[in-house]
C-alpha cells in the first residue's frame, strides 16, 4: 500500500472519529463518544505507521 493511501485512510478515520466524538458529546451518548475516540486513535496509529513505512522505504 502506498504512503498516500495509508495517510488517506488515517485521515478518514481521524475525521470520522472526530464527528462521532462531537455528535456523541452533543447528544450525551457515551458509546458514540467512545467509538469516536477509538476511531481517532486508530487514525493516529495508521498515520504513524505510514510515516515509519515511508522512513524505511527510502
pLDDT single digits (tens) 38-48: 999 999 999 99
Confidence of residue 57 (pLDDT cuts 50, 70, 90): confident
SS3 content of the chain, % helix, strand, coil (to 5): 90, 0, 10
Classify the C-alpha dihedral 6-11-17-23 as positive or negative. Answer: negative
Give the number of domains in the chain: 1
Lowest mean pLDDT among 27-31, 34-38, 42-46, 50-54: 50-54
Confidence of residue 1 (pLDDT cuts 50, 70, 90): low
pLDDT attached to residue 56: 87
**Domain extent for 24:** 3-56
Amino acid at each position: 500500500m502506498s504512503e498516500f493511501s495509508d495517510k488517506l485512510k488515517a485521515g478518514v478515520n481521524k475525521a470520522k472519529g472526530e464527528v462521532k466524538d462531537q455528535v456523541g458529546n452533543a447528544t450525551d451518548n457515551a458509546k458514540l463518544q467512545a467509538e469516536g475516540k477509538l476511531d481517532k486513535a486508530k487514525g493516529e496509529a495508521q498515520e504513524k505507521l505510514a510515516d515509519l513505512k515511508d522512513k524505511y522505504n527510502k
